[in-house]
Amino acid sequence: MPKRVVVKAVGGYEQLQVEECPPAPPPSAGQVLVGVKACGLNFYDVYVRQGLSPYVQPPCTLGLECAGVVKAVGKNVQSIQVGDHVAVHCNAGGACAEEVTVDAASALVLPQIISWEKGAAFTVNYLTAYFSVMHLGGLKEGGAVLIHGAAGGVGWAATQIAKRLPGVTVFGTASLSKHSAIKVNGVDIPIDYQQNYESEVLAVRPQGVSLVLDSLIGADFTTSQRLLEPLGKVVMLGARGMVGGEQRSLWRVLASWWSTKNVSPFSLIMNNYGVAGFNLNELKSKNPDIFIEVWKKILGLIISKELDPHIDSVWKFEEIVDASKRITERRNIGKVIICP
């Protein structure tokens, strides 16, 4: 029997378990069946375990993305063949399993030079970063961006994408022990959480930055707006501030929500800045064409080595608790991978 990683109920690490499951269903028309080789973990998987996802509640199978080999294709699938290597995106979760059956539009053929780990590492992080920096953020040559969590999966990707633009300055927050790594990845000015990042940014760039990628919410959302130069933007893409450790803290969730102040349209007019929000799941559901267009573009940039996902660590399914701790205990640099 194949295995999968499940979240049994809302709670701590003990709710992450590996269990046997029935084989994935044979592909219907327009679907493919994939034998999974590696799965990417995301901060979103922490929200799922803590009952904070708006999409799924436990019990459920973990995982938004994986890579593997195609075992069968349904009718009307022309672009993918049995034996192809693919990256897979699972909007509703369920990617951390030995087999998955998905719509062909949720699988992207990979050249065999891409390792299983890298194949499982780039979809969520690099698409989120690309849409946030380039589409919503509109970062331009000579601009400056503040990336919160620059050592995480999205932060790592956003740094590389921003640095493709000539003359861009990247400020990045991260735990102190990760500063040398994020500098190698392209962050010009690493900032520790113990420092006051507002004054650190303004000391280097008194006019402020063109873009802030805010994955924290709470009071940081207000600070992000204060840091914008005229015509700058904040792109909101996460709510990491709601998570304070292994267990969900309702107090922390409420405090984050309470300290995230509403944006007044008058304030936007008077200060010439923009606030945007990004959500990859919703974008894929409502505009699959642009999702696939950017997915292919990112893969092309990885093949040409202009972008390079960094693998923090690789774990077995049975080590899911250690893999998840690595993210919640803030030890990862780049992507955490689990393999069947």
Ligand X SMILES: NC(=O)c1ccc[n+]([C@@H]2O[C@H](COP(=O)([O-])OP(=O)(O)OC[C@H]3O[C@@H](n4cnc5c(N)ncnc54)[C@H](OP(=O)(O)O)[C@@H]3O)[C@@H](O)[C@H]2O)c1
Return residues touching ligand X (CB under 6 A).
42-44, 124-125, 128, 149, 151-155, 174-175, 178, 215, 237-238, 240-241, 243, 278-280, 327-328, 330, 332
Residue pair 129/280 in contact by the 8 Å Cβ criterion: no
**Closest distance to ligand X from the beta carbon of 162 (Å):** 15
Among candidate residues 211, 205, 339, the one with its CA nearest the CA of residue 275? 211
* Cα dihedral 218→219→220→221 (10° resolution): 70
**Closest distance to ligand X from the beta carbon of 277 (Å):** 8
DSSP 241: G
**Closest distance to ligand X from the beta carbon of 209 (Å):** 18
Q: Which is nearer to ligand X, 291 or 317 (CB)?
A: 291
**Closest distance to ligand X from the beta carbon of 101 (Å):** 23
CA distances from 34 to 68, 104, 110 (A): 6, 10, 13
Q: Which is nearer to ligand X, 171 or 278 (CB)?
A: 278
Q: Which is nearer to ligand X, 128 or 159 (CB)?
A: 128
**Closest distance to ligand X from the beta carbon of 324 (Å):** 11
> Directed axis angle between helix 123-130 and helix 288-303, to 10°?
110
Say how far apart CA 89 and CA 33 lie, in whole Å: 13
**Closest distance to ligand X from the beta carbon of 6 (Å):** 20
Q: Which is nearer to ligand X, 65 or 98 (CB)?
A: 65
Q: Which residue is nearest to ligand X (CB)?
A: 152
Q: Which is nearer to ligand X, 156 or 273 (CB)?
A: 156
Helix ranges restricted to H, the chain? 43-49, 116-119, 123-130, 153-163, 179-185, 197-204, 219-226, 250-259, 265-271, 280-286, 288-303, 320-328
Q: Which is nearer to ligand X, 208 or 241 (CB)?
A: 241
Say how far apart CA 228 and CA 235 lie, in whole Å: 11
